[in-house]
Structure formats: structure tokens, C-alpha cells
Amino acid sequence: MDNRNSRLGSLLGVGILIFIVAAIFFTVDRFAPAEPWLIPTPTRVDETLVPTPTAGQLAYSPRRDHHFDAAPQSIPEPYSLRWRVGIGIPDRDPQIFQWPEHRPGWFLNWMTLYYASETLEPPGSPSANPLEGLGMEFTPMVRVRTDRLVPPPSQLRVQAARFPGRTWLIGNEPDVRWQDNVTPETYAELYHAAHTAIKSVDPTARVAIGGISQITPLRLAYLDRIWATYQERYGVEMPVDIWNMHAFVLREEAGNWGVGIPPGFAEVTHGTLWEIEQHDDLALVEGQVRLMRQWMADHGQRDKELYVTEYGVLMPPEYGFPPSRVINFLVGSYDLFWDLRDAELGYAADDDRLVQRWVWFSTRDPLYPTGDLFDQQGNPLPIVRAINGYLRARTDPAVVVE
């Protein structure tokens, strides 16, 4: 009798435990935290963008407990130069850096809120706009995973309603296994879920497709499958307000350095095999932009803006990329994106320019510090001083452009 009661008690305990776990699982969307940084993200230790780890990646202790006072700036006017120039902030919060007077006009941080700064308090609350005066527009990014959005649709609706009129990026490099890492078919479904959630509460929001890592024939085949899947499953053309791409120059080869092979292409062993020396070749960057614009035109999307939401120099100095070379690439890319026009492919509302906005990688990053704008204390490095000089020279007629 005692043994039978013991067994019944054990079974009852197991049943209660299973019920609790199931309840947590099925309610995680409704009760997920509004702060997406509380949700675990995949580790980056398996990244193979560069051939070997470098010494600069080993010691990283950034300061995040101090906010600098920057010279006041307003949000730039659309299509002005500063409106176009953006920056990626892996540390999430732009206030921990000593920005110069002439700074980028927008930023992203691979999340949907500022790190520990932005709030969901009602409009007009004292802390509702902690970045007022910094003059940098925030563009949120929804992350996609194998079977879910981060944040989930319920929280996405809350945020979209709280911050109307924003541009939302859906996903980050879904074609790369250590980033969002989803097949084209899965991405199409998750994009539909995110787009539906955002537009249901904010019709004024603009939704941008997630940037694939680079524009090559292999990556465009990945994009083709997204486009076709959306049409097949939902019976309409994929609703994209803004097209988006990344413009890295990296190798596409299974088991080698670079961005590898996109998920869903198991039969492919290699694509474009660029070499390290080509990593900052602006002609290859221009070629990618033109390929993307041609794809857009071929799919009836020419009359849409195109953003380049991530590019830069990832290779370390010891591979032949010292600060002077990185600065030359940055300045050259700014000139390229500003000047690049095409009467057949460009965006007519922007004087036929091919690119409307772009984002440099990054303020500072432990794995890829070559393009860092700031040191670990938040103080400016030569690259951000070059950005300040570039913007100043092109907005102040009294400054001579060298």
C-alpha cells in the first residue's frame, strides 16, 4: 500500500511538472518580456568571417557605465547627407560614446529598443525620449530564429503602437548560419508574421526586408526563393516598403572563411570566391549595389528605397588593413553611395541614386575591431574623426575639401 501510494505520488508530481512546463511554453509569446535583450541570443564564437582569430579579439572590457554629453543636434532632414550616413552600435546604447559635432544621422543596434535606455512609458513621460538632442534616428531590428520572432508578435505590436512611424528591419543576415540562419521559406513566413503585427497597429510604419550578407548570384538565389515562397503561401506580392542589403566582400565556400553557404542550399559547395585582398574593393561594392538594383527592377521594385544596413572592414590590420586603408575605404564608400546614380535603375524620387542610406560597422566590436569608431572607454578613434571631417566639409561651404 505504501509503495503504491508512493508511486502514485511520484506520478502526480511528474504530471504537475509537465503541466507547468507546458503552460510556460504555450504562454511565452503572451508574457515574453518587452526588453528583447533579456532573451538569449546565439553565441558568436563559431563565426568564420575572417580566416583565423586575431589577438585583438581576446581582451575586451568596454566601459558602459558613463554617458557623454554631445553637442546638441536635431534629426536630419530626409535625403540630406547626414540623414544617409548611419552607424551600427553593438553595445546597443549610443550615449556611451563621445560623439563629435558632425555625427551619423541614424543608427541600429540589432534590437528593437535601446539598450537599458529606451522605455515603453507613455508619450510625454520624462524618460520617454532619452536620446533627444543627440540627433540620431533609431531604426529597430526584429530578429528571426528557426521558428519565432524576437521579440514575439505580441510584444512587437506593443512597441510598434508606442513608437509609430518607425522603419522596421526584419532580420539580420538570415542567409548566414551564425546570424539569423533560416531557410528562405522560413524567412518568408516570419517576415509575414512581423509585417502583419507591425502594420496592424501602425499603418504608418515602414517595413524593410532583412539584409542578406552580400549580393552575389548565390545570395540572389536565396532572395528569389523568399520572393517566390511569399507569393505561393499568401497569394500576394511580398509587401516590402524598403529594400535592404549588406555589402561585404567575403568568400562563399563551405568549410572555409567567409559567409559560407546559405541555409537551404545543402547541395551547393561554393559561390563567389573572393580573396582577402579584395575585401575593401569599392568596385565590388558598387557591383553588388547594381546587382541588387537590377534584381529590384526585374521584380517591379525599382520605385523603392534601398538601404545598405551593414558594410565595412572586418579583416584585421595584420592582414594588411591599417587605419589609413580603412579610412580611405570609408571615405570612398561615402562618395560612392552619394554619387552613384543610374537613370535606368535608380530611385527617381532621389535623383536616380541607387542607395539612399547606409550603415558602417561599427562603433566598436570585440570580434571585428578594425572599423571601430571608439575605444573601450568610448573615446573617439581616427575613423570617427574622419566621419566628422567628411560631414563637416560637405555641409560647411567655408571648409575646403581635400
20: confidence class by pLDDT, cuts 50, 70, 90? very low
- Bridging pattern class, strands 141-144 and 167-172: parallel
Q: Higher-confidence residue: 71 or 13?
A: 71
Q: The whole model's pTM is what?
A: 0.87
Query: 104-161: per-residue pLDDT in tens?
Result: 999 999 999 875 455 665 555 544 566 778 999 999 999 999 889 999 999 999 999 9
Give the SS3 label for residue 158. Answer: helix
Query: 187-229: per-residue pLDDT in tens?
Result: 999 999 999 999 999 999 999 999 999 999 999 999 999 999 9
Query: 291-327: per-residue pLDDT in tens?
Result: 999 999 999 999 999 999 999 999 999 999 999 999 9
- Bridging pattern class, strands 137-138 and 106-108: parallel
Domain spans in the chain, listed from the N-terminal domain onward: 1-31, 63-395
Among 35-44, 63-72, 190-199, which stretch is predicted with the lowest mean pLDDT?
35-44
- Rounded to whole angstroms, the Cα distance separating 367 from 91 reads 13
Average confidence (pLDDT) over 333-350: 98
CATH number of 63-395: 3.20.20.80
Which amino acid type is present at position 183? T
- Rounded to whole angstroms, the Cα distance separating 254 from 269 reads 5
- Rounded to whole angstroms, the Cα distance separating 263 from 315 reads 24
Quick one: cell of 154?
A: 505580441
Quick one: cell of 1?
A: 500500500
Positive or negative, the Cα torsion across 361, 362, 368, 372? positive
pLDDT above 90: residue 45: no
Nearest CA to 86 among 389, 347, 364, 309?
Answer: 309
Instruction: Report the residue count for the chain.
Output: 402
